[in-house]
Amino acid sequence: MAKVQNVPSAVVAASGLIGGYGVARWTKKRQLGGAVLAVAGAAAAQQWRREAGGKAAGALTAAYLAAFAGSHPLAKKMGAWPAVFSVAGGVALASWAIADRRA
């Protein structure tokens, strides 16, 4: 099994957003989806801090949380899955540009 440090932080962050929503939807337990979101976010934040420093990690963590919050109103306009994939892609791109590209 791959260690988390071998998985790009962009993948970890996007997986947290997509997986968190998927788990919440399929289990009908929002708390379970929130746990997936939180664990992946914490893992990504550790990687961001290690790869790009504290300021970048703070900014990317804020982007991760904003993506989660922003997916809700966006879902009303374009549907749930398209909204989740859109914000996950945005966070993944930011993560790659700021942290993964350097590693």
Residue 69, both tokens: 């919050």
Give the CA radius of gyration of the chain: 13
Rounded Cα distance between 36 and 89, Å, is 17
Using CB atoms within 10 A of its CB, is residue 61 exposed (0-12), middle (13-18) or buried (19+)?
A: middle
pTM: 0.91
**Position 33: which residue type?**
G
pLDDT at 71 over 80: yes
Residue 93, both tokens: 């791109």
pLDDT at 44 over 90: yes
Q: Find the helix packing angle between 30-52 and 9-27, rounded to 10°.
A: 180
Q: What is the pLDDT of residues 46-59, one digit of tens each?
A: 999 999 999 999 99
